[in-house]
A and B are shown apart, each in its own frame.
Chain A
Amino acid sequence: MCLAIPGRIVDLPAERPQFAAVEVGGVRRQVNIDLLSEEPLQTGDWVLIHVGFAMSKISEEGAQEQMRLLAMLGEDEQAMEEIAGYGIGWEAEEKAS
């Protein structure tokens, strides 16, 4: 139930409105887009594909927001290390534990 892969819409042929040509890492597949009928789709959009059907449109902003949050973890850690390096009381203790 869980294997679904992101793919990029490369073609929306007018003669087959239920389908989009989607590319996944250089492989092309015909994907049924009926489940996304309530969303405007265009070539270049990314969708999540499961058993030959597009389940969801992938949000680039959502992905970037997530990467931003993740990158901040590293910054937090660096900030903590800097503070610990000053040898100020509790931060140094916390780092040592």
Chain B
Amino acid sequence: MKYVDEFRDPHLIRQVADEIRRLANPDRHYRIMEVCGGHTHAIYRFGLADVLPSNIELIHGPGCPVCVLPMGRTDDGLSLTARGGVIFTAFGDVMRVPGTHGSPLEHKARGAEIRMVYSPLDALNLAGANPEKHVMLFAIGFETTAPSTALTILQAKAQKVTNFSVMSNHVTIIPGIKAILESPDMRLDGFVGPGHVSTVIGCRPYEFIARDYGKPVVVSGFEPLDILQSILMILRQLEAGRAEVENQYARVVPWEGNLAALKVLAEVFELRPYFEWRGLGFISQSALKIRDAYAEWDTEKRFSLPGIRVTDPKAAQCGEVLKGVLKPHQCKLFGKECTPESPVGALMVSSEGACAAYHNYVHRKTEAAAAVA
């Protein structure tokens, strides 16, 4: 597969890994955060920690939209299925997310009308095909996905589809990163920047990290070679005492971002004054709300949602893992009360959540190794 296989070339991967080893200062411990859940998933999926020297520590950031979604929002969305005549649609990532009374799949097993979609347009098409029902899209994602939701709402308006609405759980990445940077227990040396969010917002929004916090940011692709090259670029900056934003993913990411996407975002969405991020608390100006002009397609305006707030059990240390203060297996509930099958906290729910990724891809390696030792 072109533009994929070249960036998985084992020979080149070894070369970049060797260069990283050569460059890394053995007296230094590097803490690098990859912001995006997709990067977390790729790091585990390709076993990249195995080829990095032990003094480079990868910290998993909060860029997992399912992980930071408060359970109350899921409950609110699912509450609509109780009234009959509403079809709840969402991407596969959401289907196993537990609400207070079960996940969407569990609700479906009890007879609720729940449909998985692969694109927001699928949900709109479903509305067209089911005029007697109301189709609600439970929209999640950062700036990568929000423009597609926005275009779909514009499409709904153009086609005069009235039995369709979106419950926007879209969040924005910069406030999430700021929350990490301002956290007092945070010690990070650099950031692997979210490559696909950046196709929309470009590279400029990260400049404050380099300028005000003195940390390098390298916007990265998602193949093993991309991630390793980005780590190398961060290391080079650190060793040279530089702090800049660089674009490793230049084959895909335009420095200025995607103007058409930004325009359509601004047309349909505005920032909520504040929004709750599970594990991180309320963050101002960090989430997208549908503008009044498009209220007809805003689930929260069309229906009155209960506004459920669910607090996580105190023992769940999601916030600390999200901020990179704790590793997944250091949370007291990890692997016992909290597993991918019975997740307590958000990070165990999504396959790209740090805890789920660690549990699925790493945990048993280290468990087995410990058993042998």
| Chain A residues in the interface with B (C-beta under 8 A) | 1-6, 8, 24-25, 32, 34-38, 46, 48, 50-53, 55-56, 58-60, 62-63, 65-67, 69-71, 73-74, 76-77
Contacts and interface: CB of A to CB of B under 8 A. Distances in A.
Across the A-B interface, the 7 shortest Cβ-Cβ residue pairs: A2-B38, A52-B119, A62-B251, A6-B3, A1-B142, A63-B251, A56-B199
A62 B249 CA distance: 8
Interface string B223-252: 001000100000000000000000010111
A73 B38 CA distance: 26
A50 B36 CA distance: 15
Nearest to B250: A62
B293 interface: no
B251 A1 contact: no
Nearest to A56: B199
Contacts of B254: 56
Contacts of B38: 1-3
Given A65-B251, A70-B15, 11 more contacts: A1-B36, A2-B222, A6-B4, A32-B121, A35-B264, A38-B260, A46-B2, A48-B252, A50-B148, A51-B120, A51-B145
A70 B225 CA distance: 9
Contacts of B16: 70, 73
Contact of A73 (B19, B199, B252): B19
Interface residues of B, number: 53
Given A8-B2, A63-B3, A2 B18 contact: no
B259 interface: yes
Contacts of B253: 56
B177 to A, nearest CB: 14
Contacts of A69: 229
Given A1-B36, A3-B38, A35-B261, A55 B3 contact: no
Interface in B22-64: 22, 36-39, 41, 63
Contacts of B41: 2
Nearest to A31: B119
Nearest to A74: B15
A55 B261 contact: yes
Contacts of A74: 12, 15
A51 B147 CA distance: 11
B65 interface: yes
Interface stretch (B97-105, B190-198, B315-323, B356-364): B190-198
Contacts of A3: 38
28 contacts: A1-B36, A1-B141, A1-B142, A1-B194, A1-B197, A2-B63, A4-B199, A6-B3, A6-B4, A8-B2, A25-B1, A35-B148, A35-B151, A35-B258, A35-B260, A37-B260, A46-B3, A48-B196, A50-B196, A51-B120, A53-B119, A53-B147, A58-B3, A58-B252, A62-B250, A66-B248, A70-B15, A73-B15
B113 interface: no
A63 B18 contact: no
B352 to A, nearest CB: 7
A4 B196 contact: yes
Contact of A36 (B3, B63, B248, B260): B260
Contacts of A73: 12, 15-16, 19
Contact of B251 (A2, A58, A76): A58
Contacts of B229: 66, 69-70
Given A70-B12, A77-B18, A1 B199 contact: no
Contacts of A53: 119, 147-148, 151
Contact of A50 (B145, B251, B259): B145
Given A38-B259, A55-B200, A62-B250, A2 B2 contact: no
B91 interface: yes
B144 A50 contact: yes
